[in-house]
């Protein structure tokens, strides 16, 4: 199969595996499916240069995360992807880390993380 540059997608779905601290270890199998935006290398380089602060990580997540499936509220009900809920999710450091890590894994052609 030939590759055509004009067929590169603008968004893609990818699993985000969260290492949720739990009783001296991590909960297994915790995560959701993210819809990510495809950034070109210049955009990625710009974001990496600005990385290193909570604010820059949050801004990067807001740029790349375009939707989700499998994120529930504390009552087990699905959370709609919107600005308010995104801000709630991004306040949790280990969730932000998982989003950024799995985005770079996908963009660099690495295997999906295992739950």
Beta-carbon contacts of 29 under 8 Å, excluding residues fewer than 6 positions away, are 115
pLDDT of residue 54: 87
pLDDT of residue 29: 77
Residues of the chain under the 50 pLDDT cut: none
Please state the domain extents for the chain. 15-107
Spatial contact of 17 and 10, defined as CB atoms under 8 Å apart:
no
Rounded CA separation 65/32 (Å): 12
- pTM value is 0.85
pLDDT of residue 37: 95
Structure tokens at 110: 């690495």
Helix and strand element counts for the chain (H, E)? 4, 5
For residue 34, list its beta bridge partners: 14, 68
């Amino acid at each position: 199969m030939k590759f055509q540059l004009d067929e590169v997608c603008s968004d893609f779905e990818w699993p985000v595996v969260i290492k949720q601290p739990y009783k001296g270890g991590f909960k297994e199998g915790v995560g959701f499916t993210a819809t990510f935006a495809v950034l070109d290398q210049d955009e990625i380089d710009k974001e990496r240069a600005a990385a290193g602060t909570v604010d820059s990580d949050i801004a990067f997540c807001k740029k790349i995360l375009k939707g989700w499936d499998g994120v529930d509220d504390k009552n087990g009900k699905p959370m709609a992807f919107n600005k308010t809920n995104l801000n709630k999710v991004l306040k949790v450091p280990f969730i932000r880390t998982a989003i950024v890590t799995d985005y770079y894994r996908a963009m660099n052609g690495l295997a999906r993380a295992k739950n």
